[in-house]
Amino acid sequence: MPELPEVETVRRTLAPAVGSTIRSVWDSGKGLHMHRKPPRSKLRALAGATVTALRRHGKYLLVDLADKTLLVHLGMTGRFLIAPRGAPRAKHTHVVLELADGRSLRFVDARRFGQIDVLDRAREHAHPALAALGPDPIVHGIESAALLARAKTKKATLKAFVLDQSVLAGVGNIYASEALWRAKLRPTTRAHKLTQVTSARLAAAIREVLAHALDKGGTSLRDFVDAAGAAGENADYLWVYGREGEPCLRCKTRIRRSVLQGRATYYCPTCQTP
């Protein structure tokens, strides 16, 4: 699933659409997340509206119009693209916003786990998907003291804690493993055992990992591309994720893989202390 760096990369590469007016809207009529169909009448009512800004909270992209906000979640295989005039419509395209200049914004999703909705501006965070989210590490920053305070109430593993979207919005499986490796913390350690020192290390590691991935345009393991259709390059620069059996980049111990809460987890058994 695309995580914060991937969705932020899409947001940045969608920038050429700001200022464009929507001429018309088409949708496939097929269900997406939880079999819910995109709201056809609300989508078609966007015709004539101008894209004024692009925002993001966690893994959710927010396309601002005059009095509405288009909420987009990429799910597992979703792509939100700017297509040039005359570009053929790809298979698995489910929503198309035709722009007045001939370009179009297209939501393509093979597995249909993504989400599209139309919300009232200034009330978007009342939407259930956004209301449950914690602060965004890029938009709001990460305070180690606040992270420690939340951790003290949790008996989950550190891996589960970092993945908890009510704690930090946008960090997913890849970057949780990467951040815990950078912080030298074992994924199975219980969150309530964090200290001032280790919470500061973890906060700094999360910031570093996300910035590192953004610099490389996100991680493309299979489906992710930015709004222009370009794959991210960060998969070639991952420190621990997907490197089972390879030497740790710090201590040369072989990286191990385990499964926590059904998710693949990668760590160094030597320099990530319990």
Catalytic positions, written as ranges: 2-3, 59, 263
d(CA 184, CA 229) in angstroms, rounded, equals 35
Number of Cβ within a 10 Å radius of residue 8? 23
Q: Six-digit token pair at 264?
A: 């693949």
- Going from the C-alpha of 188 to that of each of 134, 158, 177, 229, the distances in angstroms are 22, 6, 11, 37
d(CA 68, CA 273) in angstroms, rounded, equals 48
Q: 3-state class of 231 per DSSP? A: coil
Q: Six-digit token pair at 193?
A: 């055992």
Which phi and psi angles does 113 have, rounded to 5°? Answer: -100, 0
Q: Which of 30, 55, 50 is nearest to 169 (CA)?
A: 55
Q: What angle do CA 51, 13, 103 make, to 5 degrees?
A: 55
> Residue 6 carries which side chain, given as an amino acid letter?
E
- Please give the full DSSP string across 92-135, using - where no structure is assigned: TEEEEEEETTS-EEEEEESS---EEEEEETT-GGGSHHHHT---
